[in-house]
Amino acid sequence: MRGLESNKTKIRHKIFTEVARAAYEGGDIAREIERLPYKIIPGEVATYRDSIFLERAIVGERLRLAMGLPLRDFSEHSELSDGVSESAIAEKYYVPPLINIIKFACNKCPEKRVMVTNGCQGCLEHPCVEVCPKGAVSMVNGRSHIDESKCIKCGKCMDACSYHAIIKQERPCAAACGMGAIKSDEYGRATIDQDKCVSCGQCLVNCPFGAISDKGQIYQTIMAIKSGTPVYAALAPAFCGQFGPNIDHKKIRGAFKALGFEDVVEVSIGADLCTLQEAQDFLKEVPAEKPFMATSCCPAWAMMAKKLFPTLAPNISMALTPMTLTGRMIKKDHPGCKVAFIGPCAAKKLEASRRTIRSDVDFVLTFEEVLGMFDAKGIEAEDIAEGEALNQATGDGRYFAVSGGVAQAVVNAAKRLAPDREIKVASANGLPECKKMLQLAKAGKYNGYLLEGMGCPGGCVAGAGTVVSVASSTKAVTKARDSAKEQCVLESDYLDYLPLIEERG
């Protein structure tokens, strides 16, 4: 749960911090990776699980993933450090699968079950018995009892109970997956169907046992910084408030320079450019060439649409994403540099690994991973001097991070370009709702519309790599939008870049 400092988030933070510290300090990384599980999980007695050896084994696999390495096959002997030295380089792409389940950390949660709790009062009416279409509910020793061999999980008994004493339990990771990609293996452990997965990372966020993790590039980013190559941090619009309340737009540049980055650029500038592309495309193509147009900036949403609704794929905007546009802009201004996208999104890691994007964006880190870098360097907000504030993007570009913000930006631009044109909008956030929206679009219900899809519930502010609560992040992004010197993207100072970098995706 974002914004909650739990045992899971503490362990993740320790792992990111130690990987970053190892990169900054240098030395024998293979030897260090063997030692780190004992540093992260000290002592002789288990704290979180039945065995301290299990705790350290799980931490070891998390360290491998944080280094961008695959999980080990535990049916065969291998060292924790296998492949680590080869991964300790200044350039390494993410290799699928990005989202991984550490099998021996999985709790083997039931996929789905309806169960009676202690709240049952054994009432006279027992409507749960009466409504069950399969006769699976009966009264046993004065309380409701469900025969799971007969139960079809319809939930009618649950709805009928006046005491709410019957509940439906579902594996949290599976419930969070809008693609139905998570099932059980032969041992009852969660497994991911990678053909269905879109790497949104919601399973990672919602697994309370911390059994799911994504791969990282912390070490490689720091190696690139130490090599002397200028590395620019491209900050996603959702960054507001993610690094603590005291690192604001006036301190963010100084904070990232203290990490070793050359400078910081707002990806909201790329959002401004993306907005203009999509507004122009919508006015030209809908309905003359396409029945509707869907936004392109969320990779999880776009991948879901292409996987589940391939016939609708041509309706997804061909505009480049804000991340890619910003990366191209930075590299045009600073030839020979590298770009690290810093954002809330796990799916962006795979987007940047595409062959067409690799030359534009070199690294993708989440806010959570970067916080580990701050701790590794011992950077405190009070030690950072205020400097020139980030004030490069418009308010509409900054609001891309919140559900509804992308569509609103496109509408605002389109109305400036064609004041008499009516633009109808439908938006959805969270993959289940996005799926419903596309089903209606396929049925012709949204002809003439601009459709905005966000893979995470609430938008990018709810991405898998965010740290603060969705409500707090939304508030911070809204404040940043309102403080922008210009609001509409057509007032951006960077529109001249578009013809130079806009080759479509």
Q: Please check the confidence at residue 505 and state whether its pLDDT lies above 60.
A: no
Q: Is 431 left (phi over 0), alpha (psi -120 to 50) or beta?
A: alpha
User: What are 447's two structure tokens?
Assistant: 């002809």
Looking at the DSSP bridge assignments, the partners of residue 125 are none
| C-alpha distances in Å from residue 394, one per residue of 84, 327, 339, 387, 481 | 42, 18, 22, 20, 7
Please compute the mean of the pLDDT values over residues 456-476 and round it to a whole number.
97
Residue 160 and residue 128 in contact, taking contact as beta carbons nearer than 8 Å:
yes
pLDDT tens-digit readout, 162-193: 999 999 999 999 999 999 999 999 999 999 99
pLDDT attached to residue 503: 66
Predicted pLDDT of residue 364 = 98
Rounded to 5°, the CA angle 249-265-411 comes to 90
Look at residue 428 in the predicted model and tell me its pLDDT. Answer: 98
pLDDT in tens, 234-243: 999 999 999 9
207-234 pLDDT per residue, tens: 999 999 999 999 999 999 999 999 999 9
- Nearest-Å Rg of the Cα atoms of the chain is 24
Pick one of 3.30.70.20, 1.10.760.10, 3.20.20.60, 2.40.128.20 as the CATH number of 112-170: 3.30.70.20
- Mean pLDDT across the chain: 95
Angle between helices 7-25 and 218-226 (to 10 degrees): 30
Separation CA 143–CA 145 (nearest Å): 6
CATH of domain 89-107+175-215: 3.30.70.20
Render pLDDT for 273-286 as a digit per residue (tens, 0 to 9): 999 999 999 999 99
Residue 442 has pLDDT above 90, yes or no: yes
Q: Average of pLDDT values for 259-278?
A: 97
At residue 144, the pLDDT reads 97
- In angstroms, the CA 202 to CA 205 distance is 5
Q: What pLDDT is recorded for position 37?
A: 98
Separation CA 88–CA 304 (nearest Å): 33
DSSP collapsed to 3 states, 153-183? CCCHHHHHCCCCCEEEEECHHHHHCCCCCEE
Q: How confident is the model at residue 66 (pLDDT cuts 50, 70, 90)?
A: very high
Asked if 89-107+175-215 and 112-170 have one fold, the answer is yes
Stretch 112-136: mean pLDDT, rounded? Answer: 96
Q: Which residues of 77-99 are buried (b: 16+ CB within 10 A; e: fewer)?
A: eeebbebbeebbebebbbeebbb
Over 90: is that where the pLDDT of 246 sits? no
Please state which CATH number belongs to domain 220-501: 3.40.950.10
User: 505 versus 421: which is more confidently predicted?
Assistant: 421
Task: Count Cβ atoms below 10 Å from residue 504 Cβ, excluding itself.
Answer: 10
Please, are residues 23 and 36 in contact by the beta-carbon 8 Å criterion? no
> Taking a C-beta distance cutoff of 8 angstroms, is the pair 68, 83 a contact?
no
For the chain, domain boundaries: 1-88, 89-107+175-215, 112-170, 220-501
In the chain, pLDDT over 90 holds for what percent of residues?
91
Q: How confident is the model over 414-434, as pLDDT tens digits?
A: 999 999 999 999 999 999 999
